[in-house]
Amino acid sequence: MSGEGKVVCVTGASGYIASWLVKLLLDRGYTVHATVRSLDDPKRTEHLLALDGAKERLSSFEANLTVDGSFDAAVNGCVCVFHTASPVIITSVDDPKVTDPQAELLDPAVKGTLNVLKSAAKVQSLKRVVLTSSIATVMFGVKLPESGGVVDETWFSDPVTCEQAKWWYQVSKIQAEDAAVKFSKENGVDLVVINPGYVIGPLLQPTINFTSDGFMSLIETGKEIFPDGINITVDVRDVATAHILAFEKPEANGRYCVVRDVVRSSEIMMILDKLYPDLGYSERKLLIRKCVEALPYSVSKEKAESLGIEFTPLEISLNDALESLKEKKFLNP
């Protein structure tokens, strides 16, 4: 196995992407140091401890993003740190959701990223840090391409526009990625950044995460996930795989947009209607914005595929996501 004898750290290990990352790392033979906010909370630990290989090669550490030195013990002796931990609260002028953006989003994202990198920089065995960023740092607050245009890793969101729109999640990811790149250059840390789209697929954790909740709301009520009805989607298993390949491939560098599909909500509903014709999705499709014109843009897969990623078809991601939501009793069948 490619990871045999190698020790890596995954921050925020109980989360949606991170849980799959831990699973796939264990499957590849890695020894994993997993950080969680509380070791006393079974919702953050039990699903990780139940993974194959966890008994032999998983160690859990309690760490807090805003506490200096909190990650020192977890990253000690590691060859790679996968920093996934960051709050996810999508905000807007019309639906702010947070009362204190600085405390609830910006500080945990930016200070937390720097705390993890400071701990990592002390470790002589460290080869690379892989940062979980977001498509939010790529294409928000900028003029998107005309019909047929392509967005890629050279695009950067406009922080001023995002702040003015009170898109605090986007601001937090922009600031965290910028801080990570600056610190890494100044301190000689080899950093690779993963920028996934809207992540869907099956859940390992016992709690529902933001993106799965949005997907569930779409199929139950027809409520759009995004105001324009366009979804930049990717399977959670592909995102986890991208992180691992970003470490294992020595030539990996810079940012990677990890996106499988750019699709309208109506297309998602039509796929689900074919998969589950008896569940009433046809009626809910009527609530979705009817839009038949071509999508205005796509997101390049070229650099991500250069890592060796084979993207999961959208139909499989949607089916597995829905089955997982039903199995965990989040979605009423």
| 109-145 pLDDT, tens digit each | 999 999 999 999 999 999 999 999 999 999 999 988 8
124 lies in a domain?
yes
How do residues 192-212 score in pLDDT, each as one tens digit? 999 999 999 999 999 999 899
pLDDT in tens, 67-100: 999 999 999 999 999 999 887 655 443 444 677 8
Higher pLDDT, 148 or 241: 241
Q: 3-state SS string over 299-327?
A: ECCHHHHHCCCCCCCHHHHHHHHHHHHHH
What pTM value is reported for the model? 0.94
In a domain? residue 139:
yes
pLDDT tens column, 256-287: 999 999 998 888 888 888 888 876 655 555 55
Distance (Å, rounded) from C-alpha 233 to C-alpha 322? 15
Query: Is 21 within the bounds of a domain?
Result: yes
CA distances from 105 to 5, 11, 14, 198 (A): 36, 17, 18, 18
In this model, does residue 22 exceed pLDDT 90? Answer: yes
- Residue 89's pLDDT is 59
Domain span at 14:
7-198+235-259+293-311
> Is 55 among the domain residues?
yes
CATH number for position 181? 3.40.50.720
Question: How many independent structural domains does the chain possess?
Answer: 1
- CA separation for the pair 162, 156 (Å, rounded): 12
Evaluate whether 172 touches 87 at the Cβ level (below 8 Å).
yes
Using DSSP bridges, classify how beta strands 261-264 and 230-235 pair: parallel, antiparallel or unpaired: antiparallel
| CA–CA distance, 140 with 144 (Å, rounded to integer) | 9
Instruction: Determine what percent of the chain is predicted with pLDDT higher than 90.
Output: 70
CB of 35 closer than 8 Å to CB of 11: yes
The one catalytic residue among 23, 173, 301, 303:
173
- In this model, does residue 158 exceed pLDDT 70? yes
Q: What is the pLDDT of residues 280-311, one digit of tens each?
A: 655 555 555 555 567 889 999 999 999 999 99
Can you tell me the distance from the alpha carbon of 310 to that of 247, in angstroms, rounded to the nearest whole number?
A: 17
Which amino acid, residue 301? Answer: K
Q: How far apart are CA 318 and CA 85, in angstroms?
A: 25
Is 122 catalytic? The answer is: no
- Do the domain assignments include residue 18? yes
